[in-house]
Amino acid sequence: MMIKFSTTMNTWIVCLLFLGSSALVFSKDHASGEKNSLKILSYNIKHGRGMDGKVDLPRIAKVVRSLSPDLVALQEIDRNCTRSGSIDLTAELGAMLGMEGRFGKFMDYQGGEYGMAVLSKFPILSHRVHVLPRGAEPRCALEVRFNPGKGWEDIRLFGIHHDWTKENLRLSQCEALLKQIGKKTGPVILAGDFNAGRQSQSMGLLLDAGFQILTNSQTNTFPSDNPKVEIDFIMSKGLSFIYFTHKVVEEKMASDHRPVFVELQP
């Protein structure tokens, strides 16, 4: 005997099958608790001025967007300075990229302020500007706390831009940085322009404190058109991941530094 179903009955059966399969997929994903990868970019953008002498913020945004980072540590950032068009670079780049931003001031400059910034795809839970010992210019570290969700815990990222003139000044800045990081538990990321190579005393101080350089091999980062030194790094401590991929982006024009990109696979 053949049983005939009405159109309404058929619709209900399709809906129930769909809901059942969706519930199974959700249950599987929820049970696995799998984390998303975490993508971090460090980029000294020289206030948006490229190797051609032009200040071109959309060009910087295009470079960043091509990598789809979750977090961006930016160095040499202007806020309302004449040389970069009297605009807030953190706010402008954040708007272009759809990211939340925080600025850390080094000093007053050309009618505005000069410093560093961090952009985040995730909500920023808190931020602090840590004043460091002065070098050729005032310096700070910009701490941003965030949570990527999906099984990650709270992470603290410190934007770095150390003195470019003397190693003893960088040593003092690293010592002060480690004091500011303190002995709190939880993962920490350092990202920025360290103005020192991996074999330097200042970098050695950070390595001795338990930080890991997230690079597969030495890749020079400055100057961008013909890199001769490796001074831009991303480092971590206490961060749980299985492996990472690292690359220095071959961008020769947008800034005098090349961007450094790391993706952590949990």
* Rg, Å, the chain Cα set: 23
Residue 235 lies in a domain: yes
- Domain-located, residue 84: yes
For residue 5, tell me if it sits in a domain: no
In a domain, 21, yes or no: no
Any domain includes 26: no
Domain count, the chain: 1
The whole domain housing 148 covers 35-265
Residue 93 lies in a domain: yes
Can you name the residues that pair with 127 across neighbouring β-strands? Answer: 144
**52-61: burial string, b at 16+ Cβ within 10 Å, e else:** eeebebebbb
CA distance 51 to 56: 11
Residue 207 within any structural domain of the chain = yes
Q: Is the pTM of this model over 0.95?
A: no
- Cβ neighbours, 10 Å, residue 234: 25
164 within domain boundaries: yes
Whichever domain contains 210, its CATH number is: 3.60.10.10
CA nearest neighbour of 85 among 55, 117, 115, 114: 55
- 169-220 pLDDT, tens digit per residue, is 999 999 999 999 998 889 999 999 999 999 999 999 999 999 999 998 999 9
Query: Would the pLDDT of 3 be above 50?
Result: no
